[in-house]
Structure formats: structure tokens, C-alpha cells
Amino acid sequence: MVKQLITEIFSINVSEQLEALSLKVFRFQYENNLIYRDFVNNLGISNREVRSIRDIPFLPVEVFKKHKVISGNEKVQAVFKSSGTTGGLGSSHVITDLSVYNRSFTNCFELFYGKPSNYCILALLPSYLDNAESSLIYMVDEFIKSSGHPDGGFYLDNLNELEEKLSELSNRGDQILLFGVSFALLDFCAKKSAKNIDWSNVTVMETGGMKGRRKEIIRADLHKQLMEVLKVKSIHSEYGMTELLSQSYSKGEGLFNSPPWKKVLIRDVNDPLSYVDYGMRGGINIIDLANIYSCAFISTADLGLAYENGSFEVLGRFDNSDLRGCNLLLE
């Protein structure tokens, strides 16, 4: 049954299919995920009452910090862990089928950017050897491998080498995709010589996070700084997290789009079981059907707003006063 569900998940092309499959996945996970079933039962919700995606309870992302969230009893193939940079306990996402993750991030990337082989992929990120437990590093490492470009690789601690490589590749006319965490991109832009590179063939993809290295700033200000230095029209963004197996991408202006098997809903800050209208601020809930073997329905700690066409914005994180909704679910 699960293999059939996976085939259907990656065949979705209209919203009606996502809703129907979400209900199937909910019932599978209610029956096969002890943590999720207890969560639903403790909310006093009967699984028989769930008839639409807005009836589905969304598991708070914080649960991944203390519990093994797993659907089924397959053998564990990998465990992805968050960095836990805020000083608290990091999250762990147990993976029982890496092929589902590979399929999700590959299909999603090709949907928005084409094949990795179209690019030389460079990364201002820790190397895979230094951080094999990061889902982001795993994904980018796979992109670099599938690109097949001899100059692709990780350059976090080699800014001078990255500068030389970018100059060489851009002068040659190669299409370049540069992934980078926010602080590393700002560090690179602080090099005066970064302005001398021809950035016309470079797609800059920020993956978020100052990781405690700089003061946090909103994405719009980050992109403005990067665009001013690099003289590019837009900065692209990747939105993902340890607890998810699918990404959303923005090609500029902070508007993210998701693959057909992923959907963002915006919950009311004060009532985590209710939703706000399109264009209104609230907490981000995510349906990620690629999470078939863990939990596909995640209530995040991010604030945002969604639009009727499926795009959404990420406005920031909850502050302490905004955590009321999450705490209600956890209690």
C-alpha cells in the first residue's frame, strides 16, 4: 500500500489529487505512527471526523526534538539532525527510505530549475564529510554529484578559492548555481573583489540561517544587501527544514512555490486548529507527502502568509508572545 501511495504522491498534478492523497496518508499515519496517533487522540479528534485537509491535525515541529517520529516498522537508513543553534535541543528526522528523499528533492529541483547537469554547483556550506547528518548538505552533495561538473564542490572555508573559481567559470560562460547560508554569502560579499566578478551567469541561492555568526535580519534586507553588492536582479531562496523531505523555492521577491505534493496552510496564531484567509499573517503549517514514513503534517515555528495561487511568504519566526498557538497543541 505504501509503495502505491508513493507512486501516487509523485504523480500529483492538480490540487484535488493532493487533498485526496493527504487523507489517505493521514489514515495510514494515524494507524502506523504511535506518536502521531497519540497526538491526534489527545486533541480529542476522531480520525473518522477528518474529511478534508483542514480537519487534519498538524504535529508541532518541536515533537521531533524529543520523539522518534516514524510511520511503520521499516529499518532506519539515516537520521538527519538540525544544528540546534539556538542553544536548545536539535531535531532528529528518522529516514527509513532515502530513495523517497532523493526522489523528492530531485523532482522538485528539476521542476523549478531543470536538471543539475545544466549547472556547475558551488556551495558556501559545510562539506558533506563535515556534516553528514544535515539533510541540506546531503541534498546539495547529491546535486553536485549529479551535475557531473568537475569544478563543483563545497567552499565554505575557502573564500579565495571560491572567488577564483567563480571568475574562471563566469568568464568561460558556464551556468553557475551558488548555494549558501546567509552569513557565508554576506562574508563573501564583504570581500571587495567580489564586486569584480561577472555575476550574470550565476544564480545565487540562499538557504537561510545566520547560525549565530551574525545578527539575524529579515530575508528582504538580506537580499537587498546581496543584490547591491553582486549587481544581480534577484536572489533565489530555498525553504526546507530537517523535519521535511521537500523544498520550496523562491526566484525572487520572497515568494516561494512548492512542488505538487507539498502545500502550505496558514493557521491562526491564537487558535492552532483554525486557519486565516489568504494574504493574512499566521503560523505556517505544511503538508509534505514525501514524509510518508514519518509525519506529513507539520506545524512549524515560522510565521508567514499564503496566496490563492499556492505561493507563500516566510515572514520570520515566532517570538515568545506568538508561541501561544504552538503551546496549546503541545499541552
The CATH number of residue 154's host domain is 3.40.50
- Give the tens place of pLDDT for each residue, 35-62: 999 999 999 999 999 999 999 999 999 9
Classify residue 139: in a domain, yes or no: yes
Whether 327 has a pLDDT exceeding 60, the answer reads no
Taking the C-alpha atoms of residue 120 and residue 122, their distance in angstroms, rounded to an integer, is 7
Q: Cell 499515519 appears where?
A: 29
Q: Both 70 and 159 in a single domain?
A: no
Mean pLDDT for 96-114 is: 98
Whether 314 has a pLDDT exceeding 60, the answer reads yes
Taking the C-alpha atoms of residue 223 and residue 167, their distance in angstroms, rounded to an integer, is 22
Q: If DSSP codes are grouped into helix, strand and coil, which group holds residue 153?
A: strand
- Give the tens place of pLDDT for each residue, 274-291: 999 999 999 999 999 999
Give the pLDDT band of residue 210 (cuts 50, 70, 90): low
* 3-state SS track over the chain: CHHHHHHHHCCCCCHHHHHHHHHHHHHHHHHHCHHHHHHHHHCCCCHHHCCCHHHCCCEEHHHHHCCCCCCCCCCCCEEEECCCCCCCCCCEEEECCHHHHHHHHHHHHHHHHCCHHHCEEEEECCCCCCCCCCHHHHHHHHHHHHHCCCCCEECCCCHHHHHHHHHHHHHHCCCEEEEECHHHHHHHHCCHHHHHCCHHHEEEEECCCCCCCCCCCCHHHHHHHHHHHHCCCCCEEEECCCCCCCCEEECCCCCEECCCCEEEEEECCCCCCCECCCCCCEEEEEEEHHHCCCCCEEEEEEEEEECCCCCEEEEEECCHHHHHHHHHHHC
Classify residue 43: in a domain, yes or no: yes
Q: Both 206 and 273 in a single domain?
A: no
Give the pLDDT band of residue 130 (cuts 50, 70, 90): confident
Amino acid making up residue 150:
P
Classify residue 86: in a domain, yes or no: no
Classify residue 87: in a domain, yes or no: no
Contact indicator for 185, 159 with CB cutoff of 8 Å: no
Whether 179 has a pLDDT exceeding 50, the answer reads yes
Q: Both 230 and 324 in a single domain?
A: no
- Give the tens place of pLDDT for each residue, 249-262: 999 989 999 999 99
Mean pLDDT for 111-126 is: 96
Q: Both 180 and 296 in a single domain?
A: no
* Nearest by Cα to 203 from 249, 246, 159, 158: 249
pLDDT of 326 reads 36
Tell me the three cell numbers of residue 246: 521537500
Classify residue 72: in a domain, yes or no: yes
Q: Both 184 and 149 in a single domain?
A: yes
- Per the structure, the complete domain to which residue 197 belongs is given by 100-239
Taking the C-alpha atoms of residue 46 and residue 48, their distance in angstroms, rounded to an integer, is 5
Classify residue 247: in a domain, yes or no: no
* Nearest by Cα to 177 from 108, 251, 253: 251
Classify residue 95: in a domain, yes or no: no
- Does the pTM surpass 0.85? The reply is yes
**Total domains in the fold of the chain:** 2
pLDDT of 324 reads 39
pLDDT of 213 reads 57
Tell me the three cell numbers of residue 61: 515541529
Taking the C-alpha atoms of residue 284 and residue 14, their distance in angstroms, rounded to an integer, is 21
Q: Both 220 and 114 in a single domain?
A: yes
Taking the C-alpha atoms of residue 35 and residue 59, their distance in angstroms, rounded to an integer, is 9
